[in-house]
Chain A
């Protein structure tokens, strides 16, 4: 039972490049979340999903897109990376809104 797995763990991008972060969970969870964590800012919600085929905007959605085509996967895309998107990205999943959210190990992204 792997839990929540994020791919990749580290990435360096040049400004303007695009990339996709993959989050996979094997717990049959309905809810999935993408957060970014910056020093002094805490965890900020980017996008979330309450079930397969659904997505919704969080606190800081600009510059990101997401897709939840399969229940176990939640993809976060950066179409044109900017230095302001340098951060640690965490994916999380939960069975429903009030059950424990399990987090992945994080992806450290640097945009130069």
Chain B
């Protein structure tokens, strides 16, 4: 059964303290790995798509990487406005999400 697992479930960081979020996947025929951000009471917003192992993408303080078994979302020098739940999702023939990592960045 295809599965997407994210860790940690929750992460508290001080402003400026860099860290990484993990997304491990066991799927057959991965076509793409997606990262989304979700703020409370809102729908998820797209961040990145990764297609093959070794690929990296960056956006402001965020960098996403992909290996054959997992993806990482690296957050460099986070700010309080980066506080949100970060979701990863795998696409084979449908888009399946992990349970997310709830990130809190405090001043």
A residues at B contact (CB < 8 Å)? 4, 33, 35, 40-45, 48, 56, 58-59, 90, 92, 97-98, 100-106
A56 touching B94, Cβ below 8 Å: yes
Closest to A41 in B: B99
Q: What 0/1 pattern do residues 54 to 96 of B give for CB contact below 8 A with A?
A: 0000000000000000000000000000000001010100111
| 4 further A-B pairs in the complex, CB-CB below 8 A; given A40-B99, A58-B94, A106-B43 | A35-B97, A97-B32, A98-B31, A102-B46
Q: Compute how far the CA of A96 lies from the CA of B42 in the bound complex, rounded to whole angstroms.
A: 23
**Interface residue B22 (Cβ < 8 Å from any Cβ of A):** no
Q: List 11 A-B contacts (CB under 8 A).
A: A4-B43, A43-B44, A43-B87, A43-B97, A45-B94, A48-B94, A92-B44, A92-B95, A97-B95, A103-B45, A106-B42
Q: Give the contacting residue for B98; candidates A4, A42, A45, A48; CB below 8 A.
A: A42
CB of A106, distance to nearest CB on chain B (Å): 6
User: B49 near A98 (CB under 8 angstroms)?
Assistant: yes
Q: Which residues of B contact A104 (CB under 8 A)?
A: 43
- With both chains docked as a complex, state the minimum distance between the C-beta of A105 and any C-beta of chain B, in angstroms: 6
Closest 3 CB pairs of A and B: A103-B43, A42-B99, A100-B46
